[in-house]
Amino acid sequence: MSIQVRNLTHIYGKGQPDSQLALENINFDIYDEEIVGIIGHTGSGKSTLLQHLNGLLKPEEGTIVVGNDEITAPNFPMRNIRKKVGLVFQYPEYQLFEETVALDIAFGPKNLGMPEDEIWDRIKEVLEMVDLDYDEVADKSPFELSGGQKRRVAIAGVLAMKPQVLILDEPTAGLDPKAHKSILEMIQRVHEKEKNIIIFVSHNMEDIANLSDKVMVMDCGKLVMVGTPKEIFAQRDRLNQIGLNVPPAADLIYKLKDAGIPMADGVVSMEEAEEELYNYLRKK
Ligand SMILES: Nc1ncnc2c1ncn2[C@@H]1O[C@H](COP(=O)(O)OP(=O)(O)O)[C@@H](O)[C@H]1O
Ligand SMILES: [Mg+2]
């Protein structure tokens, strides 16, 4: 399974005086089982791009191929896209509406025509993936849960449809550190289990560096950089120019370099920074 995006352009309110060129000639490939992190300042087009990948928005120009299907082809059935590509919106907990957690998770699979007995097995399976206890939460109202739990229920509802591509728009936004950590662990667990493509947006550069195989950088509707976390975060000055930062550990090493202290290139994680500092101090 792979994704190819070619010459993708999107204009909001085309022909109107306040029309907005939100995506401009975007091209990229995503390969089997990749985890892709998307970064970019607010308004750079991240959410617009994600909504094209599951057919919610139609491009002005360009094509998107998911697996063997060109989902941008005229009359391509939406239902078939939804089966393949699951999109979790920002603050998805606001969209919970059923009486119980189980019914909420069952909603998507039912709509896709999954058989009833399979749906119940799947509810158990996805609750486990998002680290919630079936016996404890299945019959509860989603509104009785904490913020972080609600978000995990909403994500479980998308996972229940077995998407081969899982897209998460700012999945950790607004969560406390504990809930934040549990979402990151969940992403890794889901990826290990489902071997799917995962695409997520985050403003937390450390999370992006830790989770992603590939990082895509958006600026003013354009895809301006694509590479491994190491390749991307080796370009601090370019990132700073477009209002973005490097992870804290990389930032520290850059600051030492700025101060004339010799440090290796390509330091991204805390562990690498620690090793680099240790080596420097030992040599001194
Ligand atoms: N529904 C909409 N109607 C008109 N303009 C929009 C709409 N949604 C987003 N935009 C505009 O498109 C651009 C990209 O927005 P968005 O994709 O939400 O960026 P991001 O997710 O990176 O913050 C912004 O200029 C934004 O104001
Ligand atoms: Mg957004």
Residue nearest to atom 1 of ligand 1 (CA): 12
**pLDDT digits over 97-143, tens only?**
899 999 999 999 999 999 999 999 999 999 999 999 999 999 999 99
**Helix axes of 177-194 and 147-159: crossing angle, nearest 10 degrees:** 20
Element (DSSP H or E) covering residue 224 = strand 222-227
**Mean pLDDT estimate for the chain:** 95
pTM attached to this predicted model: 0.96
Residue 255 confidence (pLDDT): 95
Band of the pLDDT at 10, cuts 50, 70, 90? very high
Q: Which of 48, 168, 170 to mutate to test the pocket of ligand 1 (most atoms within 8 A of CB)?
A: 48
Tokens of 104: 């909420």
Q: Let me know: does 39 contact 217? Beta carbons within 8 Å.
A: yes
CA 97/CA 162 separation, integer angstroms: 21
* Superfamily in which the 32-55+74-229 domain is placed by CATH: P-loop containing nucleotide triphosphate hydrolases (3.40.50.300)
What integer is the mean pLDDT of 169-192? 96
H or E element that contains 214: strand 214-219
Q: What is the pLDDT of residue 5?
A: 98
The CA–CA distances, whole Å, from 233 to 60, 64, 253, 268, 273 equal: 32, 28, 12, 7, 13
Region 228-248: mean pLDDT is 96
- Around ligand 1, the residues with Cβ closer than 6 Å are 12-13, 20, 22, 40, 42-48
Structure tokens given for 203? 């403003």
Question: Of all protein residues, whose CA lies closest to atom 8 belonging to ligand 1?
Answer: 48
Quick one: average pLDDT of 215-227? 98
Q: How far apart are CA 156 and CA 101, in angstroms?
A: 10
How far CA 3 is from CA of 6, 29, 225, 247, in Å, comes to 10, 6, 18, 28
How do residues 250-282 score in pLDDT, each as one tens digit? Answer: 999 999 999 999 999 889 999 999 999 999 999
pLDDT (0 to 100) of residue 266:
87
Give the helix ranges, DSSP H, for 20-146: 46-53, 78-84, 101-111, 116-129, 134-137
- Taking the CA of 44 as reference, the closest ligand is 1
**pLDDT band (50, 70, 90) for residue 79:** confident
Domain ranges, ordered by start, for the chain: 32-55+74-229
What pLDDT sits at residue 78? 87
Measured from the CA of 48, which atom of ligand 1 is nearest? 17
Q: Are 269 and 252 in contact (CB under 8 A)?
A: no
Which pLDDT belongs to residue 229?
97
E strand spans, 228-279: none
pLDDT of residue 103: 96
How does DSSP classify residue 160?
A: T
Q: Does residue 248 have a pLDDT over 90?
A: yes
Place of tokens 């992190």: 37
> What confidence category does residue 90 fall into, taking pLDDT thresholds of 50, 70 and 90?
very high
Q: In terms of C-beta density within 10 A (0-12 exposed, 13-18 middle, 19 or more buried), how is residue 164 classed? A: middle
Q: Using an 8 Å Cβ cutoff, are 9 and 61 in contact?
A: yes
- pLDDT tens figures, 19-62: 999 999 999 999 999 999 999 999 999 999 999 999 999 999 99
Which ligand approaches the C-alpha of residue 173 most closely?
Answer: 2
Q: Distance, CA 41 to ligand 1 centroid (Å)?
A: 11
pLDDT digit string (tens) for 202-219?
A: 999 999 999 999 999 999
Pocket test for ligand 1, best of 12, 89, 169 (most atoms within 8 A of CB): 12
